Chains A and B, each alone.
Chain A
Amino acid sequence: MTYHFPAAAKAVQGTAPLGSPMTDAPARKVVLEFLDAFYSGNIARALELCTDDVDFLSYAPVELLPHLGQRHGKQQLAETWTTLHARYSSMRYELPQLVAEGDRAACIIRIFFRKSDRDRILQTEVADFYTLRDGRIARVRQFMDSFNVVEQVLELDVTALLKPKQTG
């Protein structure tokens, strides 16, 4: 199956994880290439590095952050990622930590997304766990401070809204 995407025109900055020695874990090379492709807007290449039945799950409230949640297969991921890249005019990332062992890897990603419709930057840290099969990413589990991300996306102080009814 072939996917067509708009030409990548994203500002990208990847940084090697500080103090992390290179190992021969297969997952390290694939994940680094995947991150570079994804955050540069090269969705086609990012998808090439995934299995056809890739299982993606990002733990977040999908009613408020519909591009997150669960996706099965390349087609669903392609649609989601294309929408995501359209909403943000530039994406930049740093990689403070990457741990790889055999066909598994986990990393902390510091992301900087510029909103397409206004001059606002969404900045947060994300934790990804990858499992590879036959050299491709077959499973992704993603964690983030979703409360903070909701506040940044909606541009609302949700904590302040909670105070009157807070019961501890």
Chain B
Amino acid sequence: MPIARLAICNRWRRVPAGNQGHKQGSPLPENLNKQRILDYLKACYAGEIERAASYYDDEIDFIAYAPIEIFPTLGQKRGKAAMTASLEEMTRQYSPIEYEVTSIVAEDDGVAVMLDVRMCARGGDRVINVQIANFYTMRHGRITIYRQFMDSFDAVQQKLRRDLVDELKKPPGSAGSPA
């Protein structure tokens, strides 16, 4: 069942990235960073690369905890250029991408978001459904630290279309056993 696109974004005032109107080091209004992240997500999953990239700090430090051998656009990326390239690659591979924010928590320069994402591979019938947790640290209104968590085992199974649980339960000569 398709996930409804996030409707709440339409009710939020669009806020430009950057620290406009605020002195450096002064605390931001409570919801400003939350608004920025919601706007960022909207641009990111709509494939609006330039707009999404405008929310990245030049020195952004990104880690998505997943095997990069299977998901080259994840893992660790440093700097705006690397992040933008990664976003471009994701957009090349998957479209449309639908998402729903299921929880968002914001405090000072920290924002944490939980979301359901449905990614359709271009030119095929492959669909990946995944629940994601994103943690953002903002600096001057832009994302400077970005951590992403997901059930990477399930994501790998979906991408490779393989039942790894079944394979791992009976690997020849394996000493492995469930924890």
Contacts and interface: CB of A to CB of B under 8 A. Distances in A.
Interface in A110-168: 124-127, 129, 131, 141, 143-150, 153-156, 158-159, 161-163, 165-167
B38 to A, nearest CB: 14
Interface string A34-46: 0000000000000
Nearest to A100: B107
Interface in B74-94: none
5 contacts: A61-B154, A99-B110, A143-B133, A147-B156, A154-B178
Interface of A: 19-21, 23, 25, 59-61, 63-67, 87, 97-101, 104-108, 124-127, 129, 131, 141, 143-150, 153-156, 158-159, 161-163, 165-167
B73 interface: no
Please tell me the size bucket of the interface on B: 35 or more
A99 B147 CA distance: 13
A148 B69 CA distance: 12
A64 B65 contact: no
Given A101-B107, A125-B65, A155-B176, A63 B169 contact: yes
Interface in B109-165: 109-112, 114, 131-133, 135, 137, 147, 149-156, 160-162, 164-165
Describe A's contact surface by its main secondary structure. Answer: mixed
Given A61-B154, A148-B67, A162-B70, A101 B165 contact: no
